[in-house]
Amino acid sequence: MPYVLRRCLLVIPTLLGISFLAFALANLAPGNPAEQLLRRLSDTPPTAQEVIDTREEMGLNRPLVTQYVSWAGRAVQGDLGTSYTTRRSVSSELRHRIPYTLQLTVLAAMLALAIAVPAGIVCALHRNRLFDQLARLMSLAGASMPSFWLALSLIVLFAVRLSMVPVAGRGGLDSYVLPVVTLAVTPAAVLARFTRSTMLEVLDDDYMRTARAKGLTEWRTVLGHGMRNALVPLLTAFSISLGHLLAGAVIVETIFVWPGVGKLALDAISNRDYPMIQGFVLYAGAAFAGINLLVDLAYGAIDPRISAAGSSASGLRR
C-alpha cells in the first residue's frame, strides 16, 4: 500500500481514539450540561423538572457508551451533532470559525519564520558576538513571556497610546497586526534558538568545508548546504508550533475578540457543551495529523536520502 495512503488511513483510528478519550474526559468533568444550558438560556436557576426534561431531550440519560457510539456513527457521516449552547450544528460552527483561526495561524507562522530563520542563521554565523547575545536574550524573553501580558502591553503601547491600530476586533488590515505579532512571538523565539543550534551543528561539517574550498561564497555555502541540512529538525520544530497555532490560541482570541476555534473550545468546555468539545478535539486532532503527514512528505523533498529509505522504513523518519 502506498505510504501516503497508509498514513491517511492511520489517521482514522487515531482520531477515533482521541475523540473517545475526549468524550470520556468531558463526561468525567463535574457539572450537569442540562443545568448549564438552562442557566445560560435565562440567567436563572432551572427547576428540577426542567433539568430532568432537558437531560432527556439532550440524550444524556443514555449510557455513556451508547452516547459515544451514536455520536461516532453520525460523525463518520459528517454529522458532528448540535451544539448545546448555540443550537447550531457543530460542523457549521467549526466551518465558520476555522477560517478565522487559519488567518491568524498562517500570518503568525510566516512572521515567525521570517524573523526566526534569518535571526538564527546570523546568530550562528556570529556566535557569541553582540547580535547573538542580544538575539538570544530576546528569544529567551519571547519564549517565556505570557501571551496575555504581551497582548495587553502591545495594546497599551500601539492602540491606546500611539493610536496606530485598533484595540481588538476584526476589521481592516491594521486589526491583524497585534494578534499576529502576539501569536508569532513565542514560535519565533523558539524557532530562532532552534535554527541557531542546528546551524551551529552543521557549520563545521566536512561538506561545508568542502563547499568553501570549492570557492563558494560564505552565504551560498550557508544557505545552499548548511541550511538545507538544518532544515529537517527545523521543520519538525515548526510543525509542532504550527499545530498549536491551528488548534487555536484561546488567550489571543479572547483578548483580541477574534472569533476563532480557540475561544470556541474554551466556551464549550465551560458550558459542558459535549458535542462542541468532541467536534473541536476531532478538528485539532485532524490538524495535527495533517501537519505531521505534510511534514513527513516534506522531509523527502528536503533530503532525498530520507525519501530513498522512507518507503520501507517510514517509521524512522521523525
* Residue 89 main-chain phi, psi, to 5 deg: -70, 140
With respect to other proteins, which residue has the nearer C-beta, 41 or 294?
41
Q: Positive or negative CA dihedral for 261, 14, 235, 138? A: positive
272 touching other proteins, by CB under 8 A: yes
With respect to other proteins, which residue has the nearer C-beta, 147 or 314?
147
173 touching other proteins, by CB under 8 A: no
What is the number of residues in the chain? 318
With respect to other proteins, which residue has the nearer C-beta, 57 or 205?
57
Is 188 buried (19+), middle (13-18) or exposed (0-12) by CB count in 10 A? buried
155 touching other proteins, by CB under 8 A: yes
Pick out residues in 235-254 that bind other proteins (CB under 8 A): 254
With respect to other proteins, which residue has the nearer C-beta, 268 or 306?
268
Tell me which stretch binds other proteins (CB under 8 A): 25-33, 63-71, 210-218, 227-235.
25-33
Is 137 buried (19+), middle (13-18) or exposed (0-12) by CB count in 10 A? exposed
29 touching other proteins, by CB under 8 A: yes
Pick out residues in 83-102 that bind other proteins (CB under 8 A): 85-88, 96
Rounded Cα gap, residues 72 and 287, in angstroms: 19
137 touching other proteins, by CB under 8 A: no
The residues binding other proteins (CB under 8 A) are 29-33, 35-36, 39-51, 53-54, 57, 85-88, 96, 129-131, 152, 155-157, 159-163, 166-170, 254-257, 259, 263, 267, 270-272
